[in-house]
Chain A
Amino acid sequence: MTIDPKRWYPVAASDDLPQDHVYQTRLDGRPVAIWRAASGDVNVWDDRCPHRGVRFSVGYVIGDELRCQYHAWRFASGSGSCTHIPAQPDAKPAAAIRAQTWPVRERGGLVWTGITPEGEPAVPIDGAVLRAIPVNRAIEDVEPALKAIPDAAFILQPVDTERCVIRGLAAPERTYAIDAMLERLRLTLETV
């Protein structure tokens, strides 16, 4: 499938972003690096430094900047602009050098992104964030099976055409039970 460019999709939980960590995942086959700046803002970027293509997710968070591991170029939270190139410290980096940024929202304990999403992410219910369950099956195969699980709201992250991640929210006292149900569901779906 190709994703709906107008929709927001959850790609991480807020809890996946402890200080200094760069989380990596994919949306519709595209690798993204997700990180929280010291300011608290969350960034979703193409997981690739524009200089020599090294994954940003193996880089370092330094305050409000992400530093690429290969040549230590630094990129600003928010704009993705390159702020510092230590190989030529006296020159201001060209404006064209920037990380490819994605739209981002943090709502309901989840991090949302999309291609050109409209409006705001629809958080289905108030609740605790469920453990993310990756399933080695296409979103279309997983979605119908989730209807059998009560007391929770699910939103699927399309990883690529063959895989998705089940993300969702539930009443806090129900999360363990639902985790177990999702694990069983994953096994059932993947062994079909």
Chain B
Amino acid sequence: MTETPTNSLLWNDWHVIAEEAAPRPLRPLRTKLLDVPLTVRCDDGVINALRDDGIPMRREVRYGFVWACLGVPTRDIIHIPEAQDDWRCIVTGGAFGVHASSPRVVENFLDLGHLPYVHQGYLGAEEYGKVAPYQVRDLPEGGIIATGCKVYQPSASPAAKEGYVVDYIYKTERPLIVSLYKANPVRPGAFDAIYLFAQPVSEERTIAYTLNMFGAEGVTAKDLRCFQQLIFLQDKPILENQFPKRLPIGPRMEMPIAADKSSVAYRRWLSRIGLQYGTIGAEPLTA
């Protein structure tokens, strides 16, 4: 319920705790962030989020979501430049409770190898199971980026009329926020963008939100929302059947291969920054 060495990194960061549209007048939303019970209310059209124990908490409304920071934020809410683009259809994807740790949810989003099986017929096809080499590097401000990813997708987006090899970029700038950019099927050179925000409810429970920013041509907000929900609901049973629930980030705790480069880099980064909440085996923090 308070800042501890295991959660201090997340304690002083911003997290999505609700979609802006979720709390209705007279129907406040009860949730938890890092085990702390919160209530998000909407009174006279104004959104407010409060800790149930009455301790003051910072909160903001941005990008269609309610954000909260339990401690003293070390930086602003993540900047999402694509949210300003007027050629995009921008829609939030709902709130999905998942019985999995937030780092497991982020890692699954970064994972290329599961697309042909878990998202068969949409984001991958079994005949194209091979993962082509791609590059991963550290970002100067922290986090990782994977570039040059290529995946054959039968139905890459609601705007796709046929299958094609999709160029992908993945980026993780905050421990529990991950984004991807994928080549738009109808607008040459343009990239659709999806952000996933993992709300760490507890060490082993997450609420996942997405912000979908696709080229508006050929899609409706409803299509986009339905598509993203369909995809996430294919991942949910996988995530809930992963054990241990907390992401093992120590060396040699799970067996990666070359195709898991981005997941390996993500785990190493979490280990380096000492993220202990929702993980197992982080390097001990040096004083």
Contact = CB atoms under 8 A, between A and B. Distances in A.
Contacts of B237: 58
A48 B256 CA distance: 14
A87 B113 CA distance: 6
B254 A51 contact: yes
A96 B114 CA distance: 21
A53 B189 CA distance: 37
A191 to B, nearest CB: 30
Contacts of A55: 241-243
Nearest to A48: B243
Contacts of B244: 53
B52 interface: no
Nearest to A31: B243
Query: Interface majority SS on B: helix, strand, loop or mixed?
Result: loop
B259 interface: yes
Nearest to A93: B257
Query: Interface majority SS on A: helix, strand, loop or mixed?
Result: loop
A54 interface: yes
A87 B118 CA distance: 14
A185 interface: no
Contact of B238 (A31, A48, A54, A88): A54
Most buried by B among A31, A47, A85, A97: A85
Interface of B: 112-114, 116-118, 126, 129-131, 237-238, 241-244, 248, 254-259
Given A51-B257, A69-B118, 9 more contacts: A51-B255, A52-B242, A55-B241, A70-B118, A72-B116, A72-B117, A87-B130, A87-B257, A96-B255
Interface of A: 31, 47-48, 50-55, 58, 69-72, 85-89, 94, 96-97
Q: Which 5 A-B pairs have the closest CB atoms?
A: A86-B129, A87-B259, A87-B131, A87-B113, A55-B241
